[in-house]
Amino acid sequence: MIILENTKIYASFSAKGGELQSLKHKKTGLEYLWSGNPEYWGKFSPILFPIVGGLKDNTYYFKDQAYTLPRHGFARDREFKVDQISETEILFTLEHDEESLKVYPFHFRLGLRYQLTEQGISCSYEVANTGAEQLWFSIGGHPAFAVPLTEGLTYTDYYLQFNKDQQLVSNKIHHDLIDDETESILLKDGQLPLKHELFYEDALVFKQLQSDCISIKSRKDTHGLDFQFSDFPFFGIWSAKDADFVCLEPWCGIADGIHHQQHLEQKEGILSLNPQEEWTRNWKVTCF
């Protein structure tokens, strides 16, 4: 386990997946991240790369060749190199190798840079095209936050506060693919009350979210968190059935649509980088 800490925040990580696995506030002793209980879901905050969500038949085509990838790609299950820059900053890196080239024929470098802030943590995704041809990719976050945060409260004591939305439009998921059918959710004062039933049919998936900050709050407690993100065109909110967490997932990319023809360059939300180009995005958690 790899540790970062400052006077107020403690965070721990695994080199497998470059995954954040604990985020604690020292003064209150509160753990803000999900426990990773494998009875429900054995991950904490995986990276989604080089795809987000599922592929139709788990297959995509590039230059007339078929490739197979599991849902959310392979990076979350790979061992990252570790470069601990300071007591409060760390960079995990993953590069293409013989195994990755069999399923994803691109030369890349993926960096996950974590920096502690005064009251939380910042996570930056850094993608570089290290090859001689165009790089096609999607990327996203999947951090799971503990709900309830405080002992004695329940899941339904909490709500999500959206800073800019008063109505959400969620695309249905059908066999891991994005359906054309949508559902509208009206918010009162920008608030979505949490209940386990919200996620019984899989994640809530948004293509037109206006907010760039979603907070986890409770009227019965002063503790919660702000989750800030920008320039992520898609967003998912999910929990395993009846589990005490909620995932806030900023995405650059999305699962295949039910009508997708499976060509990688035509995939909705796909990004591309020219040779030697670099790209970055960031999300941040502030604990209170």
Whole-number Å distance between alpha carbons of 17 and 42: 13
127-149 pLDDT, tens digit per residue, is 999 999 999 999 999 999 999 99
Q: How far apart are CA 64 and CA 157, in angstroms?
A: 52
CATH code for position 122:
2.70.98.10
Q: Which domain holds residue 157?
A: 2-287
The model's pTM is 0.96
Model pLDDT, residue 109: 98
pLDDT band at 263 (very low <50, low <70, confident <90, very high): very high
Q: How many distinct structural domains can be found in the chain?
A: 1
CB 45 within 8 A of CB 143: yes
Amino acid identity, position 199: F
Which pLDDT score, from 0 to 100, does residue 172 have? 94
pLDDT of residue 108: 98
d(C-alpha 242, C-alpha 67), whole Å: 35
Q: Is 92 exposed, middle or buried (0-12, 13-18, 19+ CB in 10 A)?
A: buried
Other C-beta atoms lying within 10 Å of the C-beta of residue 196: 15
Instruction: Give the model confidence (pLDDT) of 213-238 as tens digits.
Output: 999 999 999 999 999 999 999 999 99
